[in-house]
Amino acid sequence: MAVFTTDVAVRWSDMDVYGHVNNACVVTLLEEARTALLFGEGAIRGAHTLASGVVVVELTVHYRQPLVYSASPVRVQLWVSELRAASFVLDYAVAGSDGYAVTARTQLAPYDTTAARPRRLSPAEREFLADFQDGE
C-alpha cells in the first residue's frame, strides 16, 4: 500500500477561542489534503477525470488531541480503505504533537456534473486509487 502524504498549512484564523484549530477548519484541512491527492496526484498519474466531479457521501472525524496553530504545516496521510464500482473511502491521519491529532474517513463518489448524478469510476481512476489501497 502506498500512503499519500501531504503538508497542509494551518491559518492563524483557523483557531477557536480555546486556541485549538476549530472543528470545521479541520474538515477544510482534510479537504485540502484530499484535493492534493485526487486532483493533483490524480492528474499526474492519469486520473485527471476525478477533478471533474467527486462528492462527499459521508464524513466521520475523530478528534484525538487538540490541533494547534503552528507556522509549520500539518502533515496529513491519506489512503484508500474501500474501493467499489461507484464509490471509494479515504482514511486520513493528521499528525499532532503526540501521535495523531485527528483521524477521519470520507466516503466519496465520482459525480457527473452534466447529468447531475453519481457515476462509476473509470478504469484509470480505479487503477490510480488502487495504488493507495490498504489491501484489506
Predicted local confidence at residue 135, as pLDDT: 57
The three three-digit cell numbers of residue 20, written as one number: 485549538
What percent of the chain is modeled with pLDDT above 70?
98
pLDDT score of 19 more than 90: no
For residue range 80-111, list pLDDT tens digits in order.
999 999 999 999 999 988 889 999 999 999 99
pLDDT of residue 71: 85
Residues 6+ apart with CB under 8 A from 70: 10
User: What is the per-residue pLDDT for 87?
Assistant: 98
The pTM assigned to this predicted structure is 0.93
Whole-Å CA distances, 100 to 17, 48, 64, 105, 118: 22, 30, 7, 14, 33
Amino acid occupying residue 131: D
CATH class of 4-130: alpha beta
Strands (E), the chain: 4-8, 54-63, 74-83, 88-95, 100-112, 117-118
